Structures are given as structure tokens and as C-alpha cells.
């Protein structure tokens, strides 16, 4: 994941996308065998943002937040920071001003399982 973020920062989009895709493949295997940690969904969400897949990222984060046991507040905050970093690196346009950015970020991190 960090390698993907670094590649995005360096403008190496193709390499970043390959890294994020590989992480998603690994996470898929991990998530096929319970117990599943909410961190798996948070990581998948960050990968999806890195790939520019905002709606899928929102679903991943929502699933992680809705998981039992529920994420600790500090873990939710850490996931939110991941959203902001990934969105900034990928230039997903999350908010031109603070109010809009906060509203869009909140939507990415809404509670609840996938529908």
C-alpha cells in the first residue's frame, strides 16, 4: 500500500495501479477466511481510492466500519486519514473547500454494511 502511495506521489500511475491491484488480490484471499478484521476493508478502501474507484472505496470503508467488533475510534480516524491521503494523491477532487471536503469525506466513511 505504501509503495502504491509513493508511486502515485512520484506520478507513476501505472505502477501505483499495479501495486493497489496486487494488494486487493491478497486482501481477497485474506477476507475469504474468517475472522476478518475491519482493517482489511479499510486497506481495500484505500486501494480502491488509489485506483480511482470512489464508489467501491465507499463500500469497503462502510463494510469495515460496520464490522463487529466495531473499529476503535482511533482506528476510524486512521482510516479517515487514509481516505484523505489517497484522495489527495489520486487527485479525486474531494472538496475544493473544507466544508465540501468534509461532507464528501464523511460520505466515504459512513457507517453501515454494504447494500
| Residue 66 maps to a domain | yes
| Residue 113 maps to a domain | no
Give me the CATH number covering residue 103.
1.25.40
The structural domain count of the chain equals 1
| Residue 40 maps to a domain | yes
Q: What is the pLDDT of residues 24-46, one digit of tens each?
A: 999 999 999 988 899 999 999 99
CA–CA distance, 48 with 58 (Å, rounded to integer): 9
Average pLDDT, the chain: 82
| Residue 95 maps to a domain | yes
Cβ pair 88, 101 in contact under 8 A = no
| Residue 48 maps to a domain | yes
DSSP 8-class letter at 95? -
Phi, psi of 94 (to 5 degrees): -80, 95
Task: Report the pLDDT averaged over residues 60-88.
Answer: 88
| Residue 6 maps to a domain | yes
Q: What is the pLDDT of residues 3-24, one digit of tens each?
A: 988 888 888 889 999 999 999 9
DSSP 6-46: HHHHTT-HHHHHHHHHHHHHHHHHHHTSSS--HHHHHHHHH
In terms of residue numbers, what domain contains 62?
2-108
> Residue 96: is its pLDDT beyond 50?
no
Amino acid at each position: 500500500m505504501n509503495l502504491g502511495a509513493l508511486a502515485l506521489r512520484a506520478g507513476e500511475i501505472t505502477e501505483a495501479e499495479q501495486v493497489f491491484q496486487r494488494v486487493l488480490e491478497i486482501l481477497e484471499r485474506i477476507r475469504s477466511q474468517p475472522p476478518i478484521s475491519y482493517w482489511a476493508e479499510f486497506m481495500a478502501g484505500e486501494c480502491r481510492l488509489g485506483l480511482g474507484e470512489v464508489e467501491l472505496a465507499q463500500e469497503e470503508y462502510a463494510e469495515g466500519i460496520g464490522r463487529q467488533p466495531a473499529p476503535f475510534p482511533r482506528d476510524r480516524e486512521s482510516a479517515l486519514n487514509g481516505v484523505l491521503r489517497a484522495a489527495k494523491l489520486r487527485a479525486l477532487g474531494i472538496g475544493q473547500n473544507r466544508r465540501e471536503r468534509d461532507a464528501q469525506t464523511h460520505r466515504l466513511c459512513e457507517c453501515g454494511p454494504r447494500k
